[in-house]
Amino acid sequence: MYLTYEEYTTMGGTLDEATFNNFEFEAEVFINWITFNRLKNEETQSNEVKRTVYSLINLLMTKHSILSGSEGNSSDAPAVSMENDGVSVTYSTLSGAELFDKLSVDARNIVLRYLNGVKNSQGKIVTYRGLYEDE
């Protein structure tokens, strides 16, 4: 686990522990995918990794809320507003698939931004897109 529940709540997280565990696992899998598992066997994780997981959890919460319909519209998503006789309606112009793709790009950007230049215990840059000799 890259970020414990106690660390998450200390950072200001508000999820219950069961929901946190689901989102933390998804964030960890995403980080492993982007970093070619270069962080997977580390005994301890750096503050950058923990902050990355925290930010990904927040993004995953947003994605879940939007796609489940419990949040009306993302502030980043293009929207159309209409008003008639004092009734105002705002809706997203993105389909669920387009919004999902946008949030996936955002997740990738979070990982690449937060972990830029971070090395693992073997001295390998974790976001290096190539393969090292021993990989």
Q: What is the pLDDT of residue 86?
A: 77
Nearest-CA neighbor of 118 among 30, 48, 50, 36? 48
Under DSSP, the state recorded for 117 is T
Domain hosting residue 97, numbered range: 5-114
Identify whether 23 is part of a domain: yes
Global pTM reads 0.78
3-state DSSP assignment of residue 10 = helix
Residue 121 within any structural domain of the chain: no
In a domain, residue 106? The reply is yes
* 104 within a domain of the structure (yes/no): yes
Residues in the chain: 135
Q: In the beta sheet, which residues pair with residue 87?
A: 84
Whether 126 is in a domain gets the answer no
* Strand positions, DSSP E, 54-101: 79-84, 87-92
Specify if 133 maps to a domain: no
Q: Is 120 part of any domain? A: no
One digit per residue, the tens of pLDDT, for the chain of length 135 reads 999 999 999 999 999 999 999 999 999 999 999 999 999 999 999 999 999 999 999 999 988 877 676 554 444 555 666 777 778 777 666 666 777 788 889 999 999 999 999 999 999 999 999 888 888
Question: In total, how many domains does the chain have?
Answer: 1
- Quote the pLDDT of residue 72: 47
Q: Other CB atoms closer than 10 Å to residue 133's CB: what's the count?
A: 4
Q: Is 132 inside any structural domain?
A: no
